[in-house]
């Protein structure tokens, strides 16, 4: 049964009437991006937990929402969106408060490029981790994921070095920051990547962890976070 929780992750002040529903899994970095985006925009929503270990993502109920069987899924009235990139762009167009993209065309393009490094180059191997464990063994599977993360992080260090301010592309939080924070968190906590060789990303992560919208939406603080992983 899908677990539902309301409130908590939306605006800390006056919130719009609740109408959004987010299907999420506590450990999903894709879901984490959207949770942060919703929080930054001050949007109240209903959190519906999808239990991946129990296979709820493959139930007929969930597959009607996303035939791919992945989270996040955002439901806004009759609109159903099932991709974190698409969800965030949709939210940014519909709810203009706290824009997720800079006005400058170059910095906007850098946001897209850096976000795609994470979603298209780093993350795919992580999504195959269980299959890789079965084929290669746990140590080899983690090593492969670590290699992809290090390669991607090295590229991101080079890409962002001329654009970064307090955050990845200046002194305001934008789209790429929502992609970076969960990925860096996963690299450190799940994949045990040493961050010493990535000073820029390490500095950015420290800045993210000073912001409540990032703190409150990390995996350890979700309604469905197992007790042993809560922080």
What pLDDT does residue 225 have? 96
Residues written for the chain: 231
Tokens of 82: 């099932």
CATH number for the domain including 50? 3.40.30.10
Q: Which of 98, 128, 152 finishes a domain?
A: 98
Give the neighbor-by-neighbor strand order of the sheet with 20-24.
3-6, 45-49, 20-24, 73-76, 79-81
Residue 198 counted as domain residue: yes
pTM of the shown model: 0.90
Residues 211 and 113 occupy one common structural domain: yes
Residue 223 lies in a domain: no
Q: Report pLDDT for 125.
A: 67
Number of independent structural domains in the chain = 2
Residues 90 and 114 in one domain: no
- Whole-number Cα distances in Å, 215 to 166, 169, 208: 17, 20, 8
Report H helices in 23-137: 29-40, 60-63, 84-94, 105-116, 123-127, 129-136
DSSP string, 14-45: S-PPP-EEEEE-TT-HHHHHHHHHHHHTT--E
What's the confidence (pLDDT) of residue 9? 52
Asked if the structure places residue 197 within a domain, the reply is: yes
Domain check: are 73 and 115 in the same one? no
Residue 186: give its domain's CATH number.
Answer: 1.20.1050.10
> Which pLDDT score is estimated for 145?
84
For the record, the structure tokens of 51 come out as 């239990």
Question: Of 98, 113, 134, which closes a domain?
Answer: 98
Q: Are residue 113 and residue 209 in the same domain, yes or no?
A: yes
Asked if 31 and 52 sit in the same domain, the reply is yes
Last residue of a domain, one of 67, 98, 129: 98
Q: What residue numbers bound the domain in which 93 lies? A: 21-98
What b/e readout covers 163-187, taking b as 16+ CB neighbours within 10 angstroms? bbeebbbbeebbbbbbbbbbbbbbb
Q: Give mean pLDDT in consecutive 10-residue pieces for the chain, a chain of 231 residues.
A: 55 58 96 98 97 93 95 97 97 98 98 96 72 68 87 97 98 98 96 96 98 98 96 92
Write down the pLDDT at residue 142.
82
Short-list 80, 72, 81, CA closest to 34: 72
């Amino acid at each position: 049964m899908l677990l539902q929780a309301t409130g908590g992750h939306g605006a800390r002040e006056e919130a719009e009437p609740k109408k959004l529903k987010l299907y999420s899994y506590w450990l999903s970095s894709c879901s984490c991006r959207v949770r942060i985006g919703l929080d930054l925009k001050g949007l109240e929503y209903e959190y519906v937990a999808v239990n991946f270990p129990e296979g709820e993502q493959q139930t007929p109920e969930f597959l009607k929402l996303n035939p791919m069987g992945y989270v996040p899924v955002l439901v806004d009235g009759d609109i159903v969106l099932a991709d974190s990139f698409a969800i965030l762009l949709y939210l940014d167009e519909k709810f203009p408060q706290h824009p997720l993209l800079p006005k400058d065309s170059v910095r906007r393009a850098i946001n897209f490029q850096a976000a795609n490094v994470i979603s298209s180059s780093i993350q795919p191997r992580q999504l195959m981790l269980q299959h890789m464990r079965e084929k290669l063994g746990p140590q080899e599977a983690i090593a492969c994921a670590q290699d992809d993360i290090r390669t991607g992080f090295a590229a991101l260090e080079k890409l962002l070095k001329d654009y970064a301010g307090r955050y990845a592309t200046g002194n305001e939080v934008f789209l790429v920051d929502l992609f970076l924070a969960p990925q860096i968190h996963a690299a450190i906590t799940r994949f045990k990547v040493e961050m010493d060789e990535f000073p820029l990303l390490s500095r950015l992560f420290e800045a993210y962890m000073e912001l409540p919208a990032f703190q409150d939406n990390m995996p350890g603080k979700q309604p469905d976070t197992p007790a042993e992983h809560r922080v």
